[in-house]
Copies of this chain bind each other. A is one copy, B any other.
């Protein structure tokens, strides 16, 4: 899964949390999904504010990314871990992250231990340095891949390209 840092205003200050249960869920408009444990401070902040940010860190931010995943905003002030900027909403975004989105909540669906949040992306910000022909370039983004099913949950880099999507299977089609 991708490693994503969720940004909110919680108890009056910027707060950040690692989340890896994230996916796009609609093409047009661009709607995203994240599922967050109901006990998290971030969950309550999203409920109160109706907005949040998603920030995509590169591998050089892995320690800070992990730190905001293991430290609750109830126990520590995480507002100064990153440099912050704002867009149209009051959701804080992270300057050090190469891609940022601000989102407005559309719907929250309750499950026993998590809330599934459906939210529309209203603005996306990409660092110039990650673009190739004006499109995000995954090798430049150098995102953090998360794996959680195994004995030791881990972070990984993206590896070697093994094929172009919607292309490499064309010969089997013929």
Contact = CB atoms under 8 A, between A and B. Distances in A.
Interface of A: 1-2, 21-29, 31, 33, 35, 37, 59, 62-71, 76, 81, 107, 109, 111-114, 116, 118, 132-133, 135-138, 144-173
A23 B26 contact: no
A59 B62 CA distance: 26
**How many copies, total?**
2
Given A63-B168, A151-B135, A160 B157 contact: yes
Contact of A62 (B25, B136, B163, B173): B163
The residue in A33, A81, A146, A156 that gathers the most chain B C-beta atoms within 10 A of its C-beta is A156
A121 to B, nearest CB: 12
A146 B111 CA distance: 28
B156 A138 contact: yes
A71 B165 CA distance: 13
**Nearest 9 A/B pairs, CB to CB:** A66-B169, A67-B169, A159-B159, A157-B159, A153-B165, A25-B35, A135-B151, A67-B172, A26-B111
B163 A155 contact: yes
Given A69-B165, A158-B159, A162-B62, A33 B33 contact: yes
Given A155-B163, A156-B158, 16 more contacts: A28-B112, A33-B35, A62-B169, A65-B169, A66-B168, A66-B170, A69-B165, A70-B166, A136-B149, A152-B164, A153-B165, A154-B161, A155-B162, A156-B159, A156-B160, A157-B162
